[in-house]
């Protein structure tokens, strides 16, 4: 799964810590998602997408294989 999280966050000029606080996770978690080391569950993915005012598919891109 690919994510546009870093790009979207940069557009909004939010820090990882600010986004983490807003969705109720640690900064380390946001960093792990951005670097592709951790794939969030549905609940967190929806929370992140809603924080940006976007659909989940606009933030997370599913790839086969």
- Interface residue list for another protein (CB under 8 A): 12, 14, 18-19, 21-26, 28-29, 31-32, 35, 37-38, 40-41, 43-44, 51
**Around Cβ 48, how many Cβ atoms within 10 Å?**
24
How many whole angstroms separate alpha carbon 19 and alpha carbon 23?
6
Phi, psi of 3 (to 5 degrees): -135, 145
Report in angstroms how near the CB of residue 57 gets to another protein at its nearest: 20
Report in angstroms how near the CB of residue 58 gets to another protein at its nearest: 17
Q: Which is nearer to another protein, 24 or 64 (CB)?
A: 24
């Amino acid at each position: 799964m690919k994510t546009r999280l870093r790009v979207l966050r940069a557009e909004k000029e939010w820090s990882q810590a600010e986004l983490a606080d807003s969705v109720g996770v640690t900064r380390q978690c946001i960093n792990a998602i951005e670097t592709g080391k951790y794939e969030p569950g549905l609940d967190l993915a929806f929370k992140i997408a809603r924080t940006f005012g976007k659909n989940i598919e606009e933030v997370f891109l599913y790839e086969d294989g």
